Homo-oligomer: A and B are copies of this chain.
Amino acid sequence: MGRVKLEISISLDGYVAGPSPTLEQPLGEGGEQLHEWTIRLAGWREAHGLTGGESGPEDDRARARIEATGAVVMGRRMFSGGEGPWQDDPNMDGWWGDEPPFHVPVFILTHHPREPVVKQGGTTFTFVTDGIESALEQARDAAGAKDILVAGGAMAAQESLQAGLLDSIQLHVAPVFLGGGVRLFDGIPSGGLELVKAYESLGVAHLEYRVAADRQTGGTS
């Protein structure tokens, strides 16, 4: 059975988005810096319908993660592009365009029920109103033997971690301070993880953790 993985880029001061997000700048002030390393990768660009980019070991790893992913779970903010009145617009398809980069079923945590949206290139958006456990259950059915990616934002990450539903956490720590915004780890109950590996690549620190069995209550392994 596939594993449930949180993968997310954070700042040195622990933010996944900077202050004052807008529809034009959904990651807040400076937030785009968190993702500069990944935008350089050929595999990421390919998934986004772009050409060019760098190959090499980090690109290989990124491609392998994409290939291993059978379904994605994300929060409403990540779907709709930041916090704002537009995010309750039932016709809002998110800021992911006509051919989103996921190419697999995506489950959106929201309080607003709506019909699924089928996009080009294999991405479907399904809206889940009954919580993270339900979203992960649906994602697991969709993913088959592949992994389920919890892609953010902070609330989806915190909920899945606190509910004991994660098998692993992959953090990409960008070498920037955002000085404010949305913190990834806020109010997480105390306890330990197991560091599997840590390395530098493209100027970013990549940290991979296994979630200890005693943090897992959801029977995900």
Q: Which residues of B contact A18 (CB under 8 A)?
A: 190
Contact B13 A186 (CB under 8 A): yes
How many residues of chain A get a CB closer than 8 Å to chain B's CBs?
37
- One complex includes copies of this chain to the number of 2
Cα distance, A175 to B194, chains bound together (Å): 6
Q: Mark A192-206, 1 if CB is under 8 A from B, else 0.
A: 111111111001111
B176 touches A192 (CB 8 A): yes
Residue of B nearest to A212 (CB): B175
A139-194 interface (Cβ within 8 A of B): 173, 175-180, 183, 185-194
Chain B: minimal CB distance from A28 (Å): 10
- The reply to whether B205 and A176 contact each other, CB–CB distance below 8 Å, is no
Query: Distance in Å from the Cβ of A134 to the closest Cβ of chain B?
Result: 25
Taking CB as reference atom, which chain B residue is nearest A199?
Answer: B198
A interface, CB within 8 angstroms of B:
12-14, 18, 29-30, 33, 173, 175-180, 183, 185-200, 203-207, 209
